[in-house]
Chains A and B, each alone.
Chain A
Amino acid sequence: MAETTQLEKPAIKKREPLFGPKERKLLTDPLNDNNPITVQVLGICSALAVTTLVWPSFIMAIAVVFVCAFSSLFTSLLRKSIPKQVRMIVQLVIIATLVTIVEMTLRAVDYAVSRQLAVFIGLIITNCIVMGRLEAFAMANKPWRSFLDGVGNGLGYGGILLAVAVVRELFGKGSLFAGSPIEWKIIGPSADYMLNTTTISWLGWYQNNNLMVLSCAAMFIIGVFIWIHRSWNPKLVDVS
């Protein structure tokens, strides 16, 4: 026993810390300086289509974090045995398998939302963030770091997704989390809503903005987000 513990100790000392500053950077970088949507411009399609309501966007965000994290992990574990010529197919198979798992789980847990998201859960396969991170990071880094990078990028993506969805649902429908167990009705013309526009006289003019329901609105909102993000973080400004 004594011998084995002595043998193990130096090995532990050599190992890098499990969650040091480098690892923390992997998680926080995609939230700000290297955000998948506002900086890398990857994975826009689903960001536009899903965000009319907050609840589906929330589910979508979780699904992307899951797929991104685990596809990075598995690709990184396999990175030394994947031949360079067929790496895309291998990556696609890993992603497609994970997406199928997510799709089946969602169908079992919340059928209504899974029908709402139907095509877009499938389109996670072609979500460029997942593939982009596998190419750029997981193929060249160790599993634990790749996993954190995947989680970070998934969260960076999910954060923007939720922010866009909150704006669109609040102004387009007057509610938040519609269709979920915790449905909040914020503003609207009946007694169900917190701010009832028919009884509060100074809100009588209020109407839902139907533009927010159109997919064009998502373009404007992301455009404005990029504007805010870059004026707050000037080193991201496009100089070209």
Chain B
Amino acid sequence: MELVNIFIKSAFIENMVLTYFLGMCSYLAVSKTVKTAFGLGLAVIFVLGITMPINWLINNYLLAEGGILGQDLTFLRLILFIAVIASMVQLVEMVIEKLSPSLYNSLGIFLPLITVNCAILGGNLFMVTREYNFTESVAFGLGGGFGWFLAIIAIAAIREKIRYSNVPAPLRGLGMAFIITGLMGIAFLSLLGIDPAAF
């Protein structure tokens, strides 16, 4: 039950994008159509879900004071986390290129940029500060990724519809995307009232 709580909490109540505003760059740039948003969302779920346990192992068995090396190496945390994330993103990139070249082309530069997606590094750092255990970190990674996926699908759908509305020309596109995200953020604030223990 504890794991379900963490999943729901990280996906809805503490949504990566709409509560912490992490991973905004690719969120805003790739949300023009639902199809590409779907692909990137899945990639983020995968990368978060896989880097979280790997980094948990690295953090607890390699860097922590009681680890294999027997020394406190936590100052190397940022560099090692980034290295793990970069290699996982490389893996996802190769898989997507093989399975769906059209998705690969439409994601363009933003696929390698998942490496510098703050949601991934931010999520990994949250995992450290909140002191999750191994299974909890998996649930947190998948939940956070799912929340990100949900948010980018939602805004992509809204942006597809809003193309037919009469938005003032200078506000069209990016400006409107910012304001919609702000409104979605306010909507998600109301989920703060949910008690995850009730599930």
Q: Interface residues, chain A, CB within 8 Å of chain B? A: 38, 41-46, 48-49, 88-89, 92-93, 96, 99-100, 119, 122-123, 125-128, 131, 214-220, 222-224, 226-231, 234, 237-238, 240
Cα A223 to Cα B171 in complex, Å, equals 8
Assess whether B178 is in contact with A219, with CB atoms less than 8 Å apart.
yes
Cα A88 to Cα B78 in complex, Å, equals 15
20 further contact pairs, Cβ within 8 A, besides A93-B79, A229-B170, A240-B173: A41-B174, A45-B22, A46-B118, A49-B21, A89-B86, A96-B78, A96-B79, A96-B82, A123-B121, A125-B116, A131-B113, A216-B186, A219-B179, A222-B178, A223-B171, A223-B177, A223-B179, A231-B168, A234-B170, A237-B172
Q: Is B115 an interface residue (CB 8 A)?
A: yes
Assess whether B168 is in contact with A43, with CB atoms less than 8 Å apart.
no
Q: Name which of A96, A223, A231 has the most chain B CB atoms within 10 A of its CB.
A: A223
Cα A220 to Cα B181 in complex, Å, equals 8
Cα A233 to Cα B25 in complex, Å, equals 23
Residue in A closest to B109 when the chains form the complex, CB atoms:
A135
Give chain A residues whose Cβ lies under 8 Å from the Cβ of B193. none
Within 8 A of A (CB), among B169-197: 169-179, 181-183, 185-186, 189
Assess whether A42 is in contact with B86, with CB atoms less than 8 Å apart.
no
27 A-B residue pairs with Cβ-Cβ distance under 8 Å, sorted by A, are A41-B174, A44-B28, A45-B22, A45-B118, A48-B21, A49-B21, A123-B122, A125-B78, A126-B115, A126-B117, A126-B120, A126-B122, A214-B189, A215-B19, A216-B189, A219-B178, A220-B178, A224-B175, A227-B168, A227-B175, A230-B170, A231-B168, A231-B170, A234-B169, A237-B170, A238-B173, A238-B174
- Given A48-B21, A89-B83, A219 and B182 touching (CB < 8 A)? yes
List 9 A-B pairs, minimum CB-CB distance, nearest first: A238-B173, A219-B182, A230-B170, A223-B178, A44-B24, A226-B175, A216-B185, A231-B170, A223-B179
Cα A231 to Cα B173 in complex, Å, equals 13
Cα A228 to Cα B189 in complex, Å, equals 28
Cα A217 to Cα B181 in complex, Å, equals 10
Q: Name which of B21, B79, B175 has the most chain A CB atoms within 10 A of its CB.
A: B175
CB distance from B59 to the nearest CB of A (A): 15
CB distance from B126 to the nearest CB of A (A): 9
Residue in B closest to A103 when the chains form the complex, CB atoms:
B78
CB distance from B28 to the nearest CB of A (A): 5
Give chain A residues whose Cβ lies under 8 Å from the Cβ of B125. 119, 122
CB distance from B109 to the nearest CB of A (A): 8
CB < 8 Å neighbour of B25 from A128, A218, A228: A128
Give chain A residues whose Cβ lies under 8 Å from the Cβ of B182. 216-220, 223
Residue in B closest to A99 when the chains form the complex, CB atoms:
B78
CB distance from B29 to the nearest CB of A (A): 6
- Given A41-B28, A122-B78, A215 and B185 touching (CB < 8 A)? yes
CB distance from B51 to the nearest CB of A (A): 13
Q: Is B144 an interface residue (CB 8 A)?
A: no
Q: Is B41 an interface residue (CB 8 A)?
A: no
Assess whether B116 is in contact with A131, with CB atoms less than 8 Å apart.
yes
Give chain A residues whose Cβ lies under 8 Å from the Cβ of B19. 215
Assess whether A223 is in contact with B175, with CB atoms less than 8 Å apart.
yes
Within 8 A of A (CB), among B1-26: 19-25
Within 8 A of A (CB), among B74-131: 78-79, 82-83, 86, 112-113, 115-118, 120-122, 125
CB distance from A123 to the nearest CB of B (A): 6
Give chain A residues whose Cβ lies under 8 Å from the Cβ of B176. 223
Give chain A residues whose Cβ lies under 8 Å from the Cβ of B169. 230-231, 234, 237
Residue in A closest to B87 when the chains form the complex, CB atoms:
A89
